[in-house]
Amino acid sequence: MPRQADIARIAGVSQAAVSVVLGGKQTIRMAEETRARILEVAEELGYVPHPVAKRLAHSRSNLLGLYTFRTAFPTNEADIYHPILSGVEAEAASLGQDLILFTGTSGPEARQETAIRRTRMADGCLFFGRQVPEAPVARLVETGFPLVYIGRRPELGGRIPYIGADYVTASAQVLERLLSLGHRNIRYVREPDEAPSSEDRLLGVLQAAPSTQVVRLDGPDLSADAVRSWLADGVTALVVEGTDTGTAYRAVRAAVDAAGLSVPGDLSLAVLGGPPGVSGFEVPMQEMGRHAVRLLIELITDKATTPQQLLWCPPVAGREVGPPRSTE
């Protein structure tokens, strides 16, 4: 954590001047250029001009940050990320921790860096989102600030602590089930995103069924004719990538319905982390939130721990998968 003395040295002013500015003492006269320079340096160093920072200099505040790269928190129960927030809240409460919420910004990159630096007012911070802004997160990691990502993150040379889901194993098990039922001609439909969770699902699919043909959507829609052509080519099962947007699943489901096909009569359909109850597997989001809180506390308190963990994804049998359609 940068000190006021560091700010004074870089800004070329006295520590007393820094104390006046960061303490919000407007009654003391000071050149606006000097005041602006002090605030600029404090922001660059990640200094937190907040009452909590005074307590952090001496002891823990029992405040955990939770940062989302979206502009609003998923408070609606229908939101796919809501179970994560629910798990975080429940576990933090059980451990006597308070939460401070930080939302992302859709503005310039500099504004995002500023928002991320403000997470320092907490003892440590949880992050969740499909991407990692590497520069500001790297600065947190390099200074030893405790943080945990919810979701596997290979960025920064594998230095980011995380709690993720074992998508590779779960995806492979879905394909193994289809193979055991007799399916051999399978299409895997995925979104164009290159997030680690997307790559993990693809790896699991191809590990279990290397001959699976991969279709990457280039938009939110899939034509009924495309599905009919797959059926004509002997395809008996569709496997779809599940994501926070649900784009691939909605596109495939709409195309199958528009083609007048039945599931699983004409085609089996499995989703890798899709809507509740649909054949495939469930992403343990609430448990990911709970485990992330525990890991963050372990990092804050310097306990021996495993900084990168993957959780098991429960399989979902559903009603959308069955034996291949007879061609006789």
Q: What is the average per-residue pLDDT within 257-276?
A: 96
Which two structure tokens, joined as six digits, stand for 102? 């930080």
H helix runs in the chain, sequence order: 4-11, 15-22, 32-45, 51-56, 82-94, 109-117, 134-142, 155-158, 167-180, 196-208, 224-232, 247-258, 285-300
CA atoms of 119 and 50, how far apart (whole Å): 11
Instruction: Please tell me the pTM assigned to this model.
Output: 0.80
- Domains annotated for the chain, with CATH where assigned, are 1-47 (1.10.260.40), 167-282 (3.40.50.2300)
pLDDT tens digits along 26-66: 556 778 888 888 888 887 887 765 544 444 444 577 899 99
CA atoms of 169 and 163, how far apart (whole Å): 16
Higher-scoring residue by pLDDT: 264, 21: 264
Concatenating the DSSP letter of every residue in 232-297 gives HTT--EEEEE--SS-HHHHHHHHHHHHTT--TTTT-EEEEET-STTSSEE---HHHHHHHHHHHHH
Sorting pLDDT into bands at 50, 70 and 90, what band is 245?
confident
pLDDT tens digits along 170-229: 999 999 999 999 999 999 999 988 889 999 999 999 999 999 999 999 888 999 999 999
Q: What is the average per-residue pLDDT within 281-292?
A: 96
**Which of 153, 165, 194 minimizes the C-alpha distance to 272?**
165
Which two structure tokens, joined as six digits, stand for 269? 């359909």
Q: How many CB atoms lie within 10 A of CB 56?
A: 17
pLDDT tens digits along 100-111: 988 765 555 556
CB 250 within 8 A of CB 49: no
CB 272 within 8 A of CB 68: no
